[in-house]
Amino acid sequence: MRLGCHLSIAGGLSRALQRAQGLGCQSLQIFVQNPRAWQGRQVTDAEIEAFIALRRQTAIDPLVVHLSYLPNLAASGALLYQRSRNRLQQELALAARLEADFLVCHPGHALVNDAGVQQVAAAVAAAVGQIPPPPLILLENTAGQGQELGWQIPQLDQIIKLSGVPVGLCLDTAHAFAAGYDLRHQVGIDRLLTEIAQGPGLTAIRVIHLNDSRVPLGSRRDRHWHLGQGEIGLVGLRQFLSQAELRPQALILETPKKQSEDDPRNLAVARSLLRPQELISSLHTDLVG
């Protein structure tokens, strides 16, 4: 498991790699477009070449791209649905030019679940038909806020199977917890892993988004929080990461960034969670104290 963060591309794509290097990250997740604007930015070949060259030097691997927030691949309106499909294809194409390994997508919001599931599957199938992996599309489990699809693993499995193309999973710990999977206890972890094993399979999990949750179990709200300071807590996160069946390529932090010390501190906590047990008690004292 190679540890990294979601980092900003402000100032140009290569700046994200420099930020990752400065933080000692082994992997990286970025947006390739402004996540809140339909107006896409033209990315020149020179910017792409510089990014690829710098990535070789930094040995950042894997590179994960997160689809921007505006596309809704389950939209009931024909116009928004078409726009969302186009945007998925554009960002997948850009991720391919950047030699990204994965493109993480949320399934979207649907008024009618069955129709939404079919639409997401069709959108993903069309995109992968145009641009086969790599990058491999990973569907992310969601918190199930509002009409969000994909908070239950069997529904994600349904989308993947319907698509008929290679698609993996990105597992977000804060989303899983808010969706009712109790990662603080082995019984909750077992329920999650069993559903995945019976669906897309545990090897489908290529990326884990390691986030604590600011909101309680089953609250169906999406509120990421600093590792060890949320409702899952250090013991829960450690328990989850200790599962031998989990073999993702990357662990990516999407924790809040209010102050410059937030990323280094959360990365340090994540590193401690990946080390042997005895360190946790001293770290816990530090955080509480």
* Subset of 20-49 contacting Zn ion (CB under 5 A): none
CB nearer to Zn ion: pick between 140 and 148: 140
Binding of Zn ion at residue 172 (CB under 5 A)?
yes
Tell me the closest approach of the beta carbon of residue 182 to Zn ion, in angstroms.
18
| The CA-based dihedral angle spanning residues 13, 17, 18, 24, taken in that order and rounded to the nearest 10 degrees | 160
DSSP 8-state symbol, 2: E
Binding of Zn ion at residue 222 (CB under 5 A)?
no
Binding of Zn ion at residue 6 (CB under 5 A)?
no
Tell me the closest approach of the beta carbon of residue 230 to Zn ion, in angstroms.
14
CB nearer to Zn ion: pick between 91 and 172: 172
71 half-sphere exposure, CB direction, 13 A CA radius? 26
CB nearer to Zn ion: pick between 140 and 263: 140
Q: By CB under 5 A, which span of 93-101, 154-162, 208-216, 258-266 interacts with Zn ion?
A: 208-216
Cα 84 from chain centroid? 19
CB nearer to Zn ion: pick between 181 and 280: 181
Tell me the closest approach of the beta carbon of residue 212 to Zn ion, in angstroms.
12
Candidate residues 140, 157, 212, 263; the one interacting with Zn ion per rule CB under 5 A: 140
CB nearer to Zn ion: pick between 19 and 209: 209
- Asked if residues 27 and 61 have their Cβ atoms less than 8 Å apart, the reply is yes
Tell me the closest approach of the beta carbon of residue 148 to Zn ion, in angstroms.
11
CB nearer to Zn ion: pick between 67 and 280: 67
CB nearer to Zn ion: pick between 172 and 231: 172
Maximum alpha-carbon separation in the chain: 55
- What residues contact residue 148 under an 8 Å CB cut-off, 6+ apart? 106, 107, 108, 109, 142
Tell me the closest approach of the beta carbon of residue 132 to Zn ion, in angstroms.
23
Burial 117-144 (b: 16+ CB within 10 A, else e): bbbbbbbbbebbeebebebbbbbbbbbb
Candidate residues 209, 214, 226, 238; the one interacting with Zn ion per rule CB under 5 A: 209
Phi-psi region of 81 (alpha: psi -120 to 50; beta: other; left: phi over 0): alpha
Total residues at the site for Zn ion (CB under 5 A)? 3
Tell me the closest approach of the beta carbon of residue 141 to Zn ion, in angstroms.
8
Question: What amino acid occupies position 76?
Answer: S
DSSP 8-state symbol, 34: -
Among residues 191, 111, 100, which one has the least CA distance to residue 146? 111
Contact residues for Zn ion (CB under 5 A)? 140, 172, 209
